A and B are shown apart, each in its own frame.
Chain A
Amino acid sequence: MLIDKSKFLFVATSLFFIGLCGIMLNRKNIILMLMSIELMLLAVNLNLIVFSVFLDDIVGQVFALFILTVAAAESAIGLAILVVFYRIRGTVSIEYINLLKG
């Protein structure tokens, strides 16, 4: 069956923009921010897989696998940084991460 790829791409793009909005609009919670980043990466993955299927090319899936690992490593490091930060400041609210001003 032939499924219109635009639907897949629409889902991926909306996921990406939802993630983006999650980063931009969120003012309180840094965990939410990390989750939004994950969401964006997942959207990108989805995009890659869709194109890989439709173009009948394996490279996209290879990239998707790479991105999975990179995302895992990134969230691990990000969470580690958060833990360290929490240890020092006692909070992880974004409002208080504003010491570096222009």
Chain B
Amino acid sequence: MYLLLIFFPLIGFIISIFLGRFISPKGSAFISCFFLILSFLLSCISFFEVGLCRCPVYIKLAPWIDSELFDASWGFMFDSLTVSMCVLVTCISSLVHIYSTGYMSHDPHQPRFMSYLSLFTFFMLMLVTSDNFIQLFFGWEGVGLCSYLLINFWFTRLQANKSAIKAMIINRIGDFGLALGIFSIFLAFRTVDYSAVFCLIPYYVNYNIFFFNIEFNLITLIGLLLFVGAVGKSAQLGLHTWLPDAMEGPTPVSALIHAATMVTAGVYLIIRCSPIYEYSSSALFYITIIGATTAFFAASIGVFQNDLKKVIAYSTCSQLGYMVFACGLSNYSVSMFHVLNHAYFKALLFLSAGSVIHALSDEQDMRRMGGLIQLLPFTYVMIVIGSLALMGFPFLTGFYSKDVILEIAYSKYNFLGTFAYWLGIFSASITAFYSFKLIYLTFIANTNSYKTSMQSVHDAPFSMAFPLFILSICSIFVGYLTKDLFVGLGTPFWNNAIFILPDHLNIIDAEFIPIYIKWIPFFVSVFGALLAVILYYFFSKFLFDVVSSNLLFNFAYTFFNKKWFFDRLQNEVFGSFLLKAGYNTTYKIIDKGLIELFGPTGLSNLTFVISKQVSLLQSGKVNQYAFLMFIFFILFISVSLVLTVVTPYIDLQLSFIFMLYVLINNMILNKTK
């Protein structure tokens, strides 16, 4: 059963990609949905067995790489962390599958689409269920590959190609860090199995290792390298630029990959490696700083975006920042709780946005929408539920995890905690602001849309409405239902899946912080939401004037709209520098320069020049021939004479060097002539 839950999506993939031609788009859609739902049901059972009944499952399937000390096998480990992820992934994925049958029903390549979705789910399950780092890496790369295929689904669009390549390459940068991390783990521990590595960590606390000739603490180094992988996958500051660009794929893909599944892999890695991070406070420090900065940074960009999906993408990025800094503050269970909750309402938001886009014949710009509240009431309700959950409105899902994250940040009582808390509070208010801006501009404001597209507006068909409905139910209730299970005080749910040093434990402190601190997130969120509605309802003209009149405000708007010029920095400083270096140095100077000069071209040129010079000796004049004959005759005799006479007194090697010198000099003289 445990293996089936992983391999059902693979079966769905195989059937719909190889037989999709024969069983028609509808058939392949049905098959892949069917297998995904089966996998979801099995995940629920495994959640019950492993999570609730607390009996972890280990399956050693087959040997994979078995070379001396290096032993990686196909092994599967189901502990509470894994089954939570399994339920999450299969649940969101089945809903996205069902949604795609409606959303992609007019697409000519539907079997391919469904098969990619299934393959993606398979790799994600592989990632979360592995019991060693190598197999995790397998899933990790597979997820990256599938994200490439899915973003690039409409492969005739240039923009989609570019985004997919960007996603692939930026992820690869992170994967490089992850691979280095795995290498150093193997170097130190001679194993890549989770259980063995995590057992050994405490014994290596003061162990140093040289990396690029710099001495690092082993555990810090491993932690940071693994975190580089997480930064790439989870779109943290620095390697985040692929996430918004990945909105070029179809909307269900965005919902699956960029809201619920792929980006959570980075956070999952950090949570899985909690025993490593717990023993390195400097790694935790960097994680917190980067996570908190990402939360703030992405939120600040989200406000100024006009693309419906980009706003949601940046809110994903921001929420990932929350999860990461919660990890950095050693509250892995809280982070995991937020991962689980966030997936529901973010998938809801994405899929509702997809519904809006679908209804408006693929218009994505919020400035060209408006007035949809009467036309799309169902989608409106869904998006409001999603947004309220996202901004952490009390008693919705987001409230239970987001507020806990902010509380644990405050109750850390150190610099890091305060830093993360205030950035988090600030981002929370901005999140509410842009969520309501989105709702207002899309649904409530007077319409700016074309008449033709407004005439063909239709609310979501059943296949799209059903997943939205389920997700909205989840967005409302999941947080409340599972709070005590995941982050309740003294919950036994996580038994050994998550390790927290007693020194770092502060979830109890978080319950006893001053009451006004607990109110702050609520008030800033409501303030942000109200501000958005008021600003856009009463002062939209004023806003426009502010932005367009003053040069400073205009610059500020451009600054945030263009993502802090981060893409520009990346493209123009790093990208073009590397491209130019690749072209000028590697290609022109080394490949086409040095190697050619000392290799084939230079050698053949040299032979050509020398032989030409030598053949010039034969001028065709008889007397010159006679002269040459005479000269060389003399030379021959004198050399043989001189050698016999001189050998006892002069080192022959010297004379040889002298002769060489004369020859070369002669050649150079000839050249200059």
Q: Which A residues are within 8 Å of any B CB, using their own CB?
A: 20, 23-27, 33, 94-95, 97-102
B618 CB, min distance to chain A CBs, angstroms: 3
Bound-state Cα–Cα, A97 to B622, Å: 8
**B615 contacts A25, CB within 8 Å?**
no
**A102 contacts B622, CB within 8 Å?**
no
A81 CB, min distance to chain B CBs, angstroms: 13
Proximity bits, B547-575, A CB within 8 Å = 1, else 0: 00000000000000000000000000000
Q: Of B618, B626, B627, B630, which contacts A102 at CB under 8 A?
A: B618
Q: A23-B626, A24-B626, A24-B630 are in contact. Are A100 and B621 (CB under 8 A)?
A: no
Q: Which residue of B lies closest to A95 (CB)?
A: B621
Q: Kindly state the interface size class of chain B when it binds its partner.
A: 10 to 19
Proximity bits, B616-659, A CB within 8 Å = 1, else 0: 11111111001100100000000000000000000000000000
Bound-state Cα–Cα, A25 to B618, Å: 17
**B623 contacts A98, CB within 8 Å?**
no
Give the chain B neighbours of A27 by CB distance below 8 A. 621, 623
Q: Which residue of A lies closest to B617 (CB)?
A: A102
Bound-state Cα–Cα, A99 to B622, Å: 11
**B620 contacts A100, CB within 8 Å?**
yes
Listed by A's residue number, 12 A-B pairs whose Cβ atoms lie within 8 Å are: A23-B626, A24-B626, A24-B630, A27-B623, A97-B620, A98-B619, A98-B621, A99-B620, A100-B620, A102-B615, A102-B619, A102-B620
Give the chain B neighbours of A97 by CB distance below 8 A. 620, 622
Q: Which residue of A lies closest to B618 (CB)?
A: A102
A24-B627, A95-B621, A97-B622 are known; give 10 further A-B pairs, CB within 8 A.
Answer: A20-B630, A23-B623, A24-B623, A27-B623, A94-B621, A94-B623, A98-B619, A100-B620, A101-B619, A102-B615
B638 CB, min distance to chain A CBs, angstroms: 16
Give the chain B neighbours of A24 by CB distance below 8 A. 623, 626-627, 630
Give the chain A neighbours of B620 by CB distance below 8 A. 97-102
Question: Which 3 pairs across A and B sit closest by C-beta, in order of nearness?
Answer: A102-B618, A98-B620, A102-B615
B615, B616, B618, B620, most chain A CB atoms within 10 A: B620
Give the chain A neighbours of B630 by CB distance below 8 A. 20, 24
**B618 contacts A101, CB within 8 Å?**
yes
Bound-state Cα–Cα, A23 to B616, Å: 21
B30 CB, min distance to chain A CBs, angstroms: 83
Q: Which residue of B lies closest to A100 (CB)?
A: B620
B266 CB, min distance to chain A CBs, angstroms: 73
Bound-state Cα–Cα, A23 to B626, Å: 7
